[in-house]
Amino acid sequence: MKKTGFFFFLLFERMVSLLPFCLLYIVSDFVYFILFYIIKYRKDVIIQNLRNAFPEKSEDEIYLLRKKYTEIMADLILESVKSAHLSEKEILNRFHFKHLDVLQHLYDTKKSVFLVCGHTGSWEMGGMILPLITKYKCFAIYQPQTNPYFDAYMKKIRQFFGTITIPSQQAYKKFIQHKNETILSFIVADQAPSKNGEHHWTTFLNQETAFFTGLEKMSKSLDFAVVFLRIIRTNRGKYTLEFELLTNTPKQTAIGEISEMYANALERLILQHPENWLWSHRRWKHKRI
């Protein structure tokens, strides 16, 4: 069954890869119509997340924000598929960069980096192009997919321009192996952590929210700088990547400080561009005990 489903996905992928962007977005409009009006993709989850995050917004405002979010999600689906078939020049033309010198300075001082972002803008393409814009040896931490065929496909896309993917369970061991190199690790760190385990709890978008502590623990142990990546959608298929140094001295930070800095940076970005975050995931499925 998994193989059959992946076969039909590949047919869709081949079709998308052949489309110029002007036609790609016509298809995206059709995908949006299906998601929003026919399937009503995760309607209840999205509405509840938006209501909790923005209690001051009216129901009309929530409706329009959900609508805009679904439009953007349709674009992201097709852009992510298309991205693996673009040349270096074609994909770089879709990005504008701010404060890229932050990474350059850290590299010049031989400081390894955790580059952390949330599910905002085009996080997939943002992770893909890192080897094209920095001298770092680039890694990306990811959660393996349950479908082995789709997992292999996603790894292939993410590694297309030279990023090396690492399953999250193997990340720390891999970084120890590369301790004598200057490396950059890309992490999308706003998933909901498991119910059990040690988390950092904070108020995030008006709700008590748990964050993984792995980023903080690894950065302190390995003495990696932590840089926040703001991925901002400026138009269809156009994005700005903005780099913000959170700390260059992780060992000197207090317990929970790095996690709090990340949560605050991500919240500021979401409040500025609320339609660009992944509202359809179940971010708050666990409550503090």
* Position 289 pLDDT exceeds 70: no
Mean pLDDT of 153-172: 90
In a domain, 132, yes or no: yes
Range of the domain at 229: 2-276
Mean pLDDT of 24-40: 96
**How much is the mean pLDDT over the chain?**
93
* Position 232 pLDDT exceeds 80: yes
In a domain, 268, yes or no: yes
Q: How far is CA 47 from CA 3, 43, 69, 118, 258, in A?
A: 33, 6, 11, 20, 30
How far apart are the C-alpha atoms of 191 and 212, rounded to whole Å?
A: 8
Residues 6 or more apart whose CB falls under 8 angstroms from that of 46 comprise 66, 69, 70, 279, 280
Residues across the chain: 289
In a domain, 287, yes or no: no
Handedness of CA 113, 246, 243, 72 (dihedral sign): positive
In a domain, 289, yes or no: no
Backbone Cα Rg of the chain: 19
- The single-letter code of the amino acid at 100 is L
How far apart are the C-alpha atoms of 69 and 64, rounded to whole Å?
A: 8
Extract the runs of DSSP E, i.e. beta strands, from the chain.
Answer: 95-98, 113-117, 137-142, 164-167, 183-188, 199-204, 207-212, 225-235, 238-247
In a domain, 281, yes or no: no
* Position 269 pLDDT exceeds 90: yes
Q: Which residue has the tokens 């680039």?
A: 138
In a domain, 185, yes or no: yes
* Position 1 pLDDT exceeds 70: no
How far apart are the C-alpha atoms of 60 and 220, rounded to whole Å?
A: 45
In a domain, 6, yes or no: yes
In a domain, 204, yes or no: yes
Mean pLDDT of 91-100: 96
Number of structural domains the chain divides into: 1
Residue 167 DSSP class: E
Mean pLDDT of 167-173: 91
